Every structure is written in C-alpha cells, then in structure tokens.
Amino acid sequence: MFDTVKLNTDQTIFQKLQNMGWGLIILICVLACIGFTALYSAAQGNFDPWASKQIVRFLVGLVGLFIIALVDIKIWYRLTYPIFIVGFISLIIVEIMGHTGMGAQRWINLGFIQLQPSEFMKIAVVMSLARYFHAAGQDDMKSFKFLIPSLVFILLPVGLVLLQPDLGTSLMIVMAGITMIFLAGAPIWIFLVGAAASAASLPVAWYFMHSYQKQRVMTFLNPESDPLGAGYHITQSKIALGSGGIEGKGFLEGSQSRLNFLPEKQTDFIFTLWAEEWGLMGGIFLLVIIALILLYGIIISMNCRHAFGRLLAMGLVVNFSLYVFINIAMVMGLIPVVGAPLPLVSYGGTSMLAALVGFGLILSCNIHRDSKLPRMQ
C-alpha cells in the first residue's frame, strides 16, 4: 500500500524517499550535532539555555525539510513569485512595527520565535531569479534590458534590509543575486562595468554608512588600536583560535570561552569556541563536513535536467557558502565583523530554519530532477 500512494506527481512517496539524497541529510545532521556540542560547551556544560532550544528547532526544521523536499518542484516553481511578494511585504512590516534589538530593527515578534524575514528573503530572491532565468535564451542574456527585472528582484529587498540596518545581509543578497546572473549566462562585460561602478561609488557608500559600521571597518584595518573597545571581539577571537593549537584544549576546557573573554560565543564566534577546544584538527573536520555538503549540493544542481532546478540548487549552495565564508573569515580577522552566523551551528531560530528550508528546496530539486517545467517567466 505504501508505495502506491501518490502526491499528484509521477513518483510514489516511496520512490521520492529513495531519491531524497540521504547522504546530504546525514551531513546536515552531523553539522547540526557539532553545533549542539558547541552550544552545550558555551553554556559551561549545560543544555540550557541554548543547546536544548536549538535541538528542538532543528527537529522541527527537519520535519519541514522533508515536507518541502517531497512537494513537487512544479509547485515551488508556481509559488516562486508569490513567495517573493510575501517576503517583501514582511520586510515592510519590519520597518513599520518590527522588534528592535542590539540597535537594529530586524525582527517580527511571533511570540514563540523572533522571526527575521531577511533570512528567508535570501531564499526568495534566489528562487525568483531561478524562475526568471529558467526560460532565458542566449540572446536574452546578452540584452541588458532583459536583465533589468533581475536587478529589481535584488535591489528592492536590499533597500529595505539596509534600512534595518543590516549591511551584512544586504551584501549577501547582492552577492547571491550577482552569482545567479552569472550562472544564468550573462556576458562578462556586465560584471566588469558593475565592478567599476561599485568601486567608484565606495566614497558615496562610506558617507551613508552608520558610525558603528565605519568603526567596524576601521577596527578591521587596525584592531590593535582599541583592543579593549572596538577591537575587543576580534582580538579575543584570534587569541582563542591561536591557543587551540593543533589538537585543542579539550572539550569544555576552552579558557577564553569558559572565562567569558570570548564574546557572542554562542552565535557569531561559535567557530572560535569550537577551534579553541578541538584545535586545528577539529576546525578542519568541521570544514570538511561543510565542503561535502557544498559538493553534494553542486552535484544535485548539475544533475537537474531543467534550468530552474539547476539555478535554484546552485544559488542556494552559493547562499550557504557565503554564510560560511563570511562567518569564518570574520572570526579570523580576514574581513570586518558583520554579524553573520555559522549556518546550522550558531544559535538562532531563524537562521536554523532558513538553512533547512534551503536544503529542503535543494532536495526537492534532486527528487524532481527529471520534471518538465513550463518555459515561461
């Protein structure tokens, strides 16, 4: 009986579960378990207040991942633009009545969770661009007029996110969007012109940046100038990373984190906590798991027979990789501190759920890789 039940598709539920991509799910669970372990350590060897909540969120999100993956990709294709509209409206709601925390207005208080719409907007932008470019031909991609709507998909949410203000998320949306345009086959000259225009606009961008954002840039350039003030975070992070050595200090033995020298150890600087306790080997292990997740996502993208699935899966892989790169580069002092979590590892409900939604869509692309989608925008 089980393998004869259908969900309005050509595949039975049993066949969909067979094609789910269990290797990716196992890797996701391993990465999440690393996060639970680090959060347990961050709370001095207690599940409360972070690890217990994170585990519940992961289990709920994992159920959502399976549901999203089993839904026919054709349904997600049709819902792409409505999802973008809902996400855009939610950003407007944030501006009108959003919850304020740490000097920024980025959340909607739903009672049981503080929802950050910009996290899900990253996914909506990728989905919208994947659908728009699904039917694009080579001649279309050479036309700047054809590319204008794709820029609208990117710049409209970016404008609202900048008002929150959230420069880090804005940059990630822009980078993911530009990558989507590149993957769709836009000519190189467009990116060269865009890069030149961006470089020329840096003085203007600097003028409009908030004072704390300017301070972050200056601290990045010279963190030793104020080691007990603006440079405290990155200085303590470097000390913790270096003190971990090759094998680490041992589980629950990280002095920088246990003595509370390491700030935001459960969120932005959780990789530092992990590397202090588990050393270079532990850090490499975490990066290998992430690399395998990215490789799995790339393979799924390449195996899709429709452009929507290829672009959607690859765009979501890029989005995940941007999170990882920015977070780890930030805690190592390679880029300014922008407040980006390490996906599936850092404490946070919205970032956890958004990551699992993204992976659910990637798995849907895998399950329905042979589907035929209409060629229309």
Structural domain includes residue 372: no
Q: Helix 144-162 to helix 73-97 angle, to the nearest 10 degrees?
A: 40
- How do residues 261-303 score in pLDDT, each as one tens digit? 777 888 889 999 999 999 999 999 999 999 999 999 999 999 9
Structural domain includes residue 66: yes
* Residues of the chain with confidence (pLDDT) below 70: 1-10, 99-104, 111-112, 208, 212, 219-230, 375-377
In this structure, the dihedral spanned by the alpha carbons of residues 38, 103, 173 and 108, taken in order and rounded to 10 degrees, is 80
Structural domain includes residue 373: no
* Domain that includes residue 269, residue range: 2-367
Structural domain includes residue 271: yes
Structural domain includes residue 155: yes
Q: For the chain, what is the domain count?
A: 1
Structural domain includes residue 293: yes
Structural domain includes residue 374: no
Give the pLDDT score at 150.
92
Residue with tokens 């549901």: 67
Let me know if 329 is exposed, middle or buried by CB neighbors in 10 A (0-12, 13-18, 19+): middle
CA distance 188 to 6: 45
CA distance 66 to 359: 9
DSSP result, 279-293: HHHHHHHHHHHHHHH
Could you tell me the two tokens for 77? 């294709």
Give the pLDDT score at 103.
58
Structural domain includes residue 377: no
pTM, two decimal places: 0.90
- How do residues 312-365 score in pLDDT, each as one tens digit? 999 999 999 999 999 999 888 888 877 788 999 999 888 899 999 999 999 999
